[in-house]
Amino acid sequence: MTRTLAVVGAAMGVLLTTSVAGAQTTGEGFGQRGEFVFSADRLVPVISFTQNKVTFDKANPNVSVSTTGSGLSLLWGNNSVFGFQGGGGVAGFTGGGDSTFYTTPRVGFDYVFLPNWTIGGDLFVFFTLGKSQTVTTGNVSRDVNQPSANAVGIAPRVGYIFGLSPLLSFWLRGGLSYYHAGTSIKDGTCTDQSDTTGLGVFGLDIDPQLVISPAPHFSFTAGPAVDIGFAGSASATNPGGAGGGGNCNSSTTVSGGYSSYNIGLTGALTGWF
């Protein structure tokens, strides 16, 4: 009898412990229905490999420029869109060939609309107000205008949260995206007009994250990022440029296709309530 009571008591203890642990995991953990999730995504692009390609199919002969770049960083992605100045050194695109949208920090907003299921997305906006560079040779100084730049990105997504424990979760998420960036700088000949470039691309962003929650409603996330920009365009407009004969009443515009791919490892901060 005593042995039976001991077995029953032990079994009840195990069931109670399991019940409490389950309540902590499902009742207080990350991924409960009705939660709002705020993220500072891609803060730490630890490793990244990017390939950008601009193709001018209408040129004669055809021109294609492919630029690859990789980065290793603890706090800053040096090939992010903040370095954007164009798209590869062809037809008005100068510098910034390895710049990418995909390692640029952004804010995320998600909502748990069903237990463990999320819907939301990432957003970033970036612009400069213009800048100049002063070059001094001897006693002669010359001001050189630098490009002003702007960029915007939006990446709606859906996700599913696998709750492993109160400390650990796995957030599988992905969706479509659109990014656009442009530059503008005063033309060297037609000083009342500007040379402009632009890039835009639709794609697929996938970034499953391991969620580490050392405190209630706060977590660190880390995981891979795979971004495929498969449908994009590039353009450059130059007043009085080639074909314009220096005539500031006309301008030349060239355009082509643009694609961009990125794979890497990222880190972020997340909070929810």
* 3-state secondary structure labels for all residues of 152-172: EEEEEEEEEEEECCCCEEEEE
Mean pLDDT by 10 residues, the chain (273 residues): 41 38 50 95 87 78 79 67 47 52 92 97 85 76 75 96 94 96 80 83 96 95 95 84 62 85 93 94
Residue 17 lies in a domain: no
Residue 170 lies in a domain: yes
Residue 156 lies in a domain: yes
CA 169 from centre of chain: 22
**With left for phi above 0 and alpha for psi between -120 and 50, is residue 224 left, alpha or beta?**
beta
Residue 187 lies in a domain: yes
Predicted model pTM: 0.78
Residue 14 lies in a domain: no
What is the CATH classification number for the domain harbouring 263?
2.40.160
Dist. CA 220–CA 267, nearest whole Å:
7
Range of the domain at 48: 34-272
Report the number of distinct structural domains present in the chain: 1
DSSP-assigned letter for residue 226: E
Dist. CA 77–CA 234, nearest whole Å:
23
